[in-house]
Structure formats: structure tokens, C-alpha cells
Amino acid sequence: MIEHLVPILVGTLGAATPLVLAGLGELVTEKSGVLNLGVEGMMLIGAVAGFACAVETGGGAGAGLIAGGIAGMVASLLFAVLVLSLAANQAAAGLALTIFGIGLSAFIGQGYVSFSLPGLKPWAIPGLSAIPVIGPIFFRQDFVVYLSFALFGLVWWVLARTRLGLLLRAVGESPESAHAIGFPVLAIRYGAVLFGGAMAGIAGAYLSCVYTPLWVQNMTAGRGWIAVALVVFATWKPLRLLLGAWLFGGVTILQLHAQGLGIAVPSQLLSALPYAATVVVLVLISRDRKLLQLNLPASLGKPFLPGS
């Protein structure tokens, strides 16, 4: 049984990585009080930009990831201007970003449908990867997975232990109070949104340059939305987000191994599993209103204009 399980778990981490990256980005954004529903769009933009760059420059996954990150950041800048400087409706703007991202990525991606990229080989960490069971799962992955671990650590540390993290949480709770004390609320929110954009872009580029190194229209298949749901499920705590992403990665991988495990459910219905699971976890976490209220950034989704 373990022999079956280990490859599943190895694959889980790879499948979870885009969720971890995009989820961490959205977590930071929401901590500052901004709801960005455009994650799916930003991921797609990052995916197509990364793929196109990797193909055009021959630079491989590395170049693709950087290009994806930048593209995601630029896309999020559009959103940021709309909701921060112009105080537009955040939910609608996020949706607009998603629709725009889907359209733009399909548009640009049409010329790249027949290409493929070499992908990335896993990087075994000497010593650690030899530990039975845990070794191959955690320490024999491609470097983007390691990057996701590092970014998780960084986000957790900044939020919990630094002045910047404190500031971010303060702005997310009460931008009015933060402003009264004299903090640059909009600048902080811009930073958080752009960080989220970069992360979503990298997540998308990972999908198109490493995970399945080709371009397919709409290839994120709703992962951006699952990432948003994961942030709620994690009650805005990075560790829970990481675990939740791993859980979803596992569910995704399960479909592929279902035959091997002897599960006789039609493949389409298995494909629906991650989405149905998302609904279930949302329900589970939303039931406890008090828990939600204690952890929810209180100003989430509300427009803030200094001077209004």
C-alpha cells in the first residue's frame, strides 16, 4: 500500500504548488483588506506569458517563471489602480480581471498551442532525500516546489514577526485608524496586491512551463478560484493554507491514480471532485461565524478613500 501511496504523495506536492503560490499571494492581499477575485485571470496571464517567454527566448522554465511573475504583477496593477486609487467595487473588478485574463491569455496563447517545453527535472536534496517515505515526498521535487516552501516560510515570518506584517494586519483591520496614525494605507495595499499578482503569475507559469509544459486555453481550470477558497478555509493563516493546498493537491492527483487504486467512478465525475470538495470545505469553515469574524480582515472588500 505504501508503494502506491508514495508516488501519489510525491505528485501531490507538485499539484499543490500552484495552489500554495497563488494562495499565499491572495492571503497577503486579503490580509491588507483587498479582495482580489481575479486570481484565475492573473494565473492564466502568468501562464501564457511564461510559456511564450520560455519558447521565444529558449530560456526554459526559469525565464518563464520570471516572465510569468512580472506579467501577473502587471495584471494586478490594473486591478489595483481600479480598486485602490479609483475605489471601484472590488468583487466586480476581480471578476473583470478574470474574464479579461481568460480572454487575453487565449488570444496570445493561440499562437503557441503546438509548442512544448522540456519542463523541469526534480532536484534531489542530498541526504534529506534518502530518508524513507518522507525523503522522496518532500526532498525530491523540482525547485519551484522548494520555492513554495521558502515563500511559505517568508510569508509566515513576515506576518507574525515583523513590523511590516503588523502594519499589514492593521491596515486590513482598520484602514481608517491606520490612516489617522499616519501610515500610508494605499501604498501598503498596492504592495500587497502586486505581491499577490506576482505569486499568481508564478503559479500560472509553473503550470505551463513545468507541471504540464504546454499551453492549453484555460489551463488553470479553476485553480485560481480554488486558491481563493483555500484562503477562506485557512482562516487567513499561512500554515493552514499550506496544509489545505496539499489536501487539494492530493484530491487532484487521486483522479489520475483512481484506476490504479481500483476506484470504479467515471473519470469526469472524479474530475469534479476538487470542486465539490471546495464547496464542502467552504461550508465547514463558514459555519462558525465567530471563528470567521475573529480571523477575517475586518475591512476586506470595502473600498477606502483617504479623505472621504
Partner 1 sequence: MTTPPQPYNTSGEPRLKLLNITKRYPSVVANDGVSLTVQPGSIHAVLGENGAGKSTLMKIIYGSVQADAGEIMWNGRQVSIANPAAARALGIGMVFQHFSLFETLTVVENIALALGGDFDLAALAERVRSVSERYGLPLDPQRLVHSLSVGERQRVEIVRCLLQNPQLLILDEPTSVLTPQAVKKLFETLRQLASEGVSILYISHKLDEIRALCDHATVMRGGRVTGETDPRAETSASLARMMIGRELPVCHAPVYHGDSAPVLAITGLSLEAEDAFGTRLSDISLTVHRGEVVGIAGISGNGQAELLAALSGERTSHKQAVLIADTPVGHLDAGKRRDLGLVFVPEERLGRGAVPAMTLADNALLTAHREGLVSKGLRRFDAARDFARRCIERFDVRCGGEGAAARSLSGGNLQKFIVGREIMLSPKVMVVAQPTWGVDVGASAFLRQTLLDLSRSGVGVLVISEELEELFEICDRIAVLAGGRLSEAVPRHTTDAEAIGLKMAGLFGDGAHTPEVAHA
Partner 2 sequence: MLEPRPNPSRKMRLASPLIAIALTLFVGSILFIALHKSPLEAFHVFFIEPLSTANGWSELAIKAGPLILIAQGLAIGFRARIFNIGAEGQLIMGAICGGGIAIWLDGVDSAWVLPLMVLAGAIGGGLWGALPAWLKTRFNAEETLTTLMLSYVASFLLSWLVSSPWRDPGGMNFPQSVMFGDAALFSMLFEGMRVNTSIFIVIAAVLLFWVFVTKSFLAYQLTVGGQAPQAARYAGFSSRRTVWVSLVVSGVTAGLAGVGEVAGPIGQLNLNISPGYGYAAIIVAWIGRLHPLGIVLSGLLMALIYLGGEAAQVTLQLPAAITGLFQGMLLFFLLGCDVFIDYRLRRRKRKPRPVPSSGPETISAPATIMVPEPVGLPEPTAAPLRTASIQGERA
Residues near partner 2 (CB under 8 A) are 35, 37, 41, 78, 82, 86-89, 91-93, 95-97, 99-104, 106-107, 109-110, 176, 179-180, 217, 221-222, 225, 228-229, 232, 266, 268-269, 271-272, 275-276, 278-279, 282-283, 286-287, 289, 292-293, 296, 298-303, 305-308
CA distance 180 to 25: 27
Contact segment (CB under 8 A) with partner 1 among 112-120, 130-138, 177-185, 277-285 equals 177-185
| Secondary structure (DSSP) of 120-173 | ---EEPTTGGGSTTHHHHHHEE-HHHHHHHHHHHHHHHHHHHSHHHHHHHHHHH
10 Å Cβ neighbour count for 237?
16
Decide which of partner 1, partner 2, none touches 101; Cβ closer than 5 to 8 Å per partner kind: partner 2
131, 284, 294, 305: residue in contact with partner 1 (rule CB under 8 A): 294
Residue 282: CB minimum distance to partner 2, A: 5
Pick 255 or 299: Cβ nearer partner 1: 299
Residue 170: CB minimum distance to partner 1, A: 5
Phi/psi region, residue 162 (left: phi>0; alpha: psi -120 to 50; beta: rest), is beta
Pick 5 or 167: Cβ nearer partner 1: 167
Question: Helices 223-233 and 39-57, interaxial angle, to 10°?
Answer: 130
Residue 127: CB minimum distance to partner 2, A: 42
Amino acid at 257: H
287 binds partner 1 (CB under 8 A): no
178 binds partner 1 (CB under 8 A): yes
Phi/psi region, residue 221 (left: phi>0; alpha: psi -120 to 50; beta: rest), is left
The alpha carbons of the chain give a radius of gyration, in whole angstroms, of 19
Residue 298: CB minimum distance to partner 1, A: 8
Pick 145 or 232: Cβ nearer partner 2: 232
57 binds partner 1 (CB under 8 A): no
10 Å Cβ neighbour count for 167?
16
290 binds partner 1 (CB under 8 A): yes
DSSP state of 211: I
Amino acid at 267: S
